[in-house]
Amino acid sequence: MLSNGFYVAGIDMGTAFAKVVVLNGYGIISSRVLPAGKNYLETAEKVMQAALNKTGVNMTDIASIVATGNGAANVSFACQQVSDMSCQARWARHVFPSTMAVIDIGSQSTKVIKLDEQGRMKEFITNEKCAAGNGRFLQVIAYVLGVPLDEIGPLSLKSEKVVKFTNSCAVFVESEVISRVAEQQKKEDILAGVHASIAAKVASLVQRIRSEGKHVLAGGGARNIGLVRSIKEKLDCPLLVPDEPQLTAALGAAFIAWDGLQQE
**Residue of 53, 98, 123, 233 interacting with other proteins (CB under 8 A):** 123
- Compare residues 12 and 189 and give the one whose CB is closer to other proteins: 12
- Compare residues 24 and 70 and give the one whose CB is closer to other proteins: 70
- Compare residues 89 and 239 and give the one whose CB is closer to other proteins: 89
Reference 84, options 218, 229, 234; nearest CA is: 218
DSSP, res 183: T
Structural contact between residues 257 and 80, judged by C-beta atoms closer than 8 angstroms: yes
- Tell me if 128 contacts other proteins by CB under 8 A: yes
d(CA 73, CA 177): 37
- Which stretch of DSSP H or E encloses residue 160? none
- Tell me if 212 contacts other proteins by CB under 8 A: no
**Residue of 46, 94, 122, 214 interacting with other proteins (CB under 8 A):** 122
DSSP, res 245: G
d(CA 130, CA 140): 14
- Which stretch of DSSP H or E encloses residue 217? strand 215-218
**Residue of 11, 85, 199, 231 interacting with other proteins (CB under 8 A):** 85
- Tell me if 70 contacts other proteins by CB under 8 A: yes
DSSP, res 93: H
Please state the separation of Cα 69 from the chain's center in Å.
10
Which of these ranges, 3-11, 43-51, 120-128, 193-201, lies near other proteins under the rule CB under 8 A? 120-128
- Compare residues 132 and 194 and give the one whose CB is closer to other proteins: 132
- Tell me if 126 contacts other proteins by CB under 8 A: yes
Structural contact between residues 90 and 252, judged by C-beta atoms closer than 8 angstroms: yes
Q: Which residues contact 180 (CB under 8 A, 6 or more apart)?
A: 163, 190, 193
- Tell me if 161 contacts other proteins by CB under 8 A: no
**Which residues, listed in sequence order, are joined to residue 62 by a DSSP beta bridge?**
7
- Tell me if 105 contacts other proteins by CB under 8 A: no
CB of 210 to other proteins, least distance (A): 9
- Compare residues 94 and 186 and give the one whose CB is closer to other proteins: 94
- Tell me if 79 contacts other proteins by CB under 8 A: no
- Compare residues 95 and 209 and give the one whose CB is closer to other proteins: 209
- Compare residues 115 and 198 and give the one whose CB is closer to other proteins: 115
CA dihedral 222, 224, 225, 229 (to 10 degrees): -70
**Residue of 7, 124, 165, 258 interacting with other proteins (CB under 8 A):** 124
Residues found near other proteins in the complex (CB under 8 A):
70, 82-86, 109, 120-126, 128-129, 208
